[in-house]
Structure 1
Amino acid sequence: MTVAGTSIDTLVVGAGQAGIAVSEHLGKLGVPHLVLERDRIAERWRTSRWDSLVANGPAWHDRFPGLEFDDLDPDAFASKDRVAAYFEVYAKKFNVPVRTGVEVRSVVRNAHRPGFTVETSDGVIEAQRVVVATGPFQRPLIPPIAPVTPVTSNKDKLFQMHSADYRHPAQLPAGGVLVVGAGSSGVQIADELRRAGRNVFLSVGPHDRPPRAYRKRDFCWWLGVLGEWDAETMRPGKEHVTIAVSGAHGGETVDFRRLAHEGITLVGLTKSFNDAGVVTFESDLAANIKAGDENYLSLLDAADAYIERNGLDLPEEPAARDFLPDPDCVKNPLHHLDLTEAGITSIIWATGFSLDYQWLKVNAFDGKGRPCHQRGVSSEPGIYFLGLPWLSRRGSSFIWGVWHDAKHVAGHIATQRSYLSYQDALERRGKTHRAVEESVSVSETNEISETGVN
């Protein structure tokens, strides 16, 4: 079945968590729609993650309200393949009208008529509205400081890859590894490589470091009851701060000191590379570790205050405030590193992603190419965005958060349809009234003709 020639009220681009969520809400509101996915449902969970990845939140939290992980303990962490399977089951449960293997190549607003013309790999579609549910992980971002020439003494090229392409340690050539970026991905990959016997250097920038759990409650629960997930604006200075959290090994608090004591060499923010294969790091490692500690302790303080304020009977956990001693790499940090001398043959860039909307040819972006929207409702009427960080709140890019954002977007679409239905009704009444007048006019003419009046 081809999509060519299809005319639909609302087209949803992408069948990841955002696309599946908005389809559920659109279906409940009776909005005719179609979901197009260029690969498979939840493809990013399948092929843009490393093999051992698990969700960073427990199963009771990282899900939609309409379906539980019935084969997992609520406090367990689902594997990436289990998450992908979850969304497939969810799509079937709510009869999501999805067509896979169809790529959207361009969206253009129609001239002098409503809606958009959508060019796909399977033909042209006409849509009154378009929901862009392609998420935040669109184009792997490697900073311009990355080496572009051979840097090792034997003139072999340094092996480099983005974390989106990393699957397992055996992918990398023998030798040490520099992991650049200490958010959730960078930390987990560095730890996996260390456990596989690699000599690992981890470049640590500014980060938040919540406890995995505290006083018998997961940090996801704490951020919920403390209102942090619903924070609507990012705090100034936090724009480039990552979150170091992990569900690996049953879930554990990310502790950079522990990682260092286990064999990972911590270094500061990666600054530059020269042609001789020497990398320079910022002198900020200790400051970044300290700021992460402060973030960690602030959540413990807020949790303690919440428990006291609400009279909860949760066991105290004084050991949570104990830190390991600073390792030597923190007390005497490296500022320069010769990659050849250190035996480093690979670099993994865990440096995030950029957005790519070249196919979306509408007036919905600012001068830097970022979407202009209010809670997902674009500045271009009829265009909507879903799944982006801070779309409406801190939790917007998380599984449960995107479901709530999708409900708002679907409601806006339904409201717009109601206004247009009113207009259509007016036009239909007008046509009916004109038809009646024409009928009466013809009838009167016939009566005059039959009476012979001259």
Structure 2
Amino acid sequence: MTDLNRTAFRTSPEQAAEKTEIDTLVVGAGQAGVAISEHLSKLGVPHLVLERSRIAEAWRSGRWDSLVANGPVWHDRFPGLAFDDLDPDAFASKERIADYFEAYAKQFNAPIRTGVEVKRVVRNADRPGFTIETSDGVIEARRVVAATGPFQRPVIPPIAPQDPRFEQLHSADYRNPQQLPEGAVLVVGAGSSGVQIADELQRAGKRVYLSVGAHDRPPRAYRNRDFCWWLGVLGLWDAETVQPGKEHVTIAVSGARGGETIDFRALAHQGITLVGLTKAFDGAVVRFESDLADNLARGDQNYLSLLDAADAYIARNGLDLPEEPQARRVLPVPDCVANPLLELDLVEAGVTSVIWATGYALDFSWLQVGAFDAQGKPQHQRGVSSEPGVYFVGLPWLSRRGSTFIWGVWHDAKHIADHIATQRKYLAYQDAGQRQAHAHAASETQAPNVSILGVS
């Protein structure tokens, strides 16, 4: 750590009242905070990163025990450091990823201060910049970068029953099968988290019901290339707008057990009971939409469209990649799909736990500035906020589809750091002009009283 890290904050009463001044304050030291700090450091921008816990804490304690990255390590990393201890096609564990970001920050001596929570940010009324209240004093900053990521507040929908007979938790609080009581489990949500948790629970011997909504289902790999590679060469990572109707569609992909394509029919044949979108609870009875087959069909369509695009790319570029006809084979329709459950009595079915893999909401209640719309959604262009001096990094679709992946965060952060550096150059010109004006005024005051004809 730098001297700033060691001395900027003290916990003594005398220093608690003191104010620390910094050009740019970054809130959050996950992948987004580390990325923006690297770029600001390269550009010579004085800054400080505050993290309320440890670097990359969400990877360590905000995920289940067996989680691995959804992309291989050759892809899910920053340009300045490789996972030298792993095969390039491996999927790093959550602890290894957290260690990676700690090591990355150490490489450039990132000015990160851990154990400090930002409580409130307000714009100054009578001078430039912002006043930031933290758990360890007050900071004045010209600019603020919100790098707290997209996983801020776990969301459990209001339909969740208020029933003490069932253990209910969000996927953010799930750790392992041993955490749950004896009995069957209903997992609501079939994105990457819900699918992987349901699969783990079923393999641990639990009876599992998995509620499947609309989703995209890319192949884990096709014709000897990972789907991350395919999305890259096909230009899909750089898509800048969400397709209509896809705003809230989850992606079912997994790096578990070396990486596997998610196939819901395979999960059903494995022993998981698939049901449609969870609609409502009436006591212990849960009702499901009759959309299971349609949701699977749309997921298949998404899967096959990527295979078609990959085949066309191979033919167009004359690549020598092995054909993979088995990738298009469809398993027999499971009984739970042919005859879907539309309601389930949880007590009769022996369900004792409900896991809500239903995503997260943003929570910027600490950032009390005019950077949000009426629904509290950040207003920005590629992370540059509508509120001058406020920036966002690490949000989904910040600039493109790839913004939520590790490498995408790094590239988004570079754009934001460049914007900050440019603004500093303009202000430096303004400050230089003011200094010249003051110097000229002072020289006029000190000059002798001479007439315009040069006669004293």
Aligned AA (2:126): H
In 2: Cα distance, 1:54 partner to 1:427 partner: 54
Aligned to 1:244: 252
Structure 2 counterparts to residues 197-346 of structure 1, below 5 A? 197-275=205-283, 277-346=284-353
- Tell me, yes or no, if the aligned pair for 1:175 and 1:346 is still in contact at 8 Å: yes
Q: 1: CA distance between counterparts of 2:443 and 2:343? A: 87
CA offset digits 1:346-373 (Å, max 9, x no partner): 0000000001111111000001000000
Say which SS state the counterpart of residue 298 (structure 1) adopts.
helix
Which segments of 5 or more consecutive residues in structure 2 lack a partner in the other structure? 1-6, 10-17
Judge conservation of contact 1:20–1:91 (CA < 8 Å) in 2.
Answer: yes
Identity among equivalent positions (%) equals: 75
Q: Does 1:38 find its partner at 2:61?
A: no
Take 1:441 and 1:435, find their aligned partners in 2: how far apart are those partners?
Answer: 12
Q: Is the 8 Å Cα contact of residues 54 and 79 (structure 1) preserved in structure 2?
A: yes
2:12 maps to none
Instruction: Answer yes or no: is the 8 Å Cα contact 1:2–1:122 preserved in 2.
Output: no
**Amino acid in structure 1 at the alignment position of 2:175:** R
Q: How far is 1:280 from its partner?
A: 0.1
Counterpart code for 1:242: T
Give the equivalent residue in structure 1 for 2:366: 359
Compared with structure 1, are the counterparts of its residues 441 and 397 closer, same or farther at alpha carbon in structure 2 (3 Å cutoff)? farther
1:323, distance to aligned residue in structure 2 (A): 1.1
Aligned pairs for 1:54-133 within 5 A: 54-133=68-147
Aligned to 1:372: 379
Equivalent AA in structure 1 for residue 395 of structure 2: L
**Partner secondary structure for residue 6 of structure 1:** strand
CA distance in 2 between counterparts of 1:352 and 1:441 reads 74
Aligned to 1:436: 443
Distance across 2 between alignment mates of 1:198 and 1:21: 40
More off after superposition, 428-437 vs 71-80: 428-437
Distance 2:51 2:386 in 1: 24
User: 2 CA distance for matches of 1:60 and 1:235?
Assistant: 28
1:402 aligns to what? 409
Distance 2:132 2:248 in 1: 35
- The alignment's TM-score, normalised by the length of structure 2, stands at 0.95
Q: Contact between 1:23 and 1:35, CA under 8 Å: does it hold in 2?
A: yes
Q: Does 1:148 align with 2:155?
A: no
SS of 1:361 mapped into structure 2: coil
Contact persistence 1:2–1:123 (CA under 8 A): no
Q: Which whole-Å CA distance do the structure 1 matches of 2:176 and 2:163 have between them?
A: 25
**What secondary structure does 1:167 align onto?**
coil
Which amino acid in the other structure matches residue 327 of structure 1?
P
Q: Aligned to 1:403, what secondary structure does the other structure show?
A: helix
2:430 corresponds in structure 1 to: 423
Aligned-residue Cα RMSD (Å) equals 1.3
* 3-state SS of paired residue (2:26): strand
How far apart are the structure 1 equivalents of 2:168 and 2:417?
Answer: 42
Number of residues paired by the alignment? 440
**After superposition, where does 1:112-191 map in structure 2 within 5 Å?**
112-150=126-164, 157-191=165-199
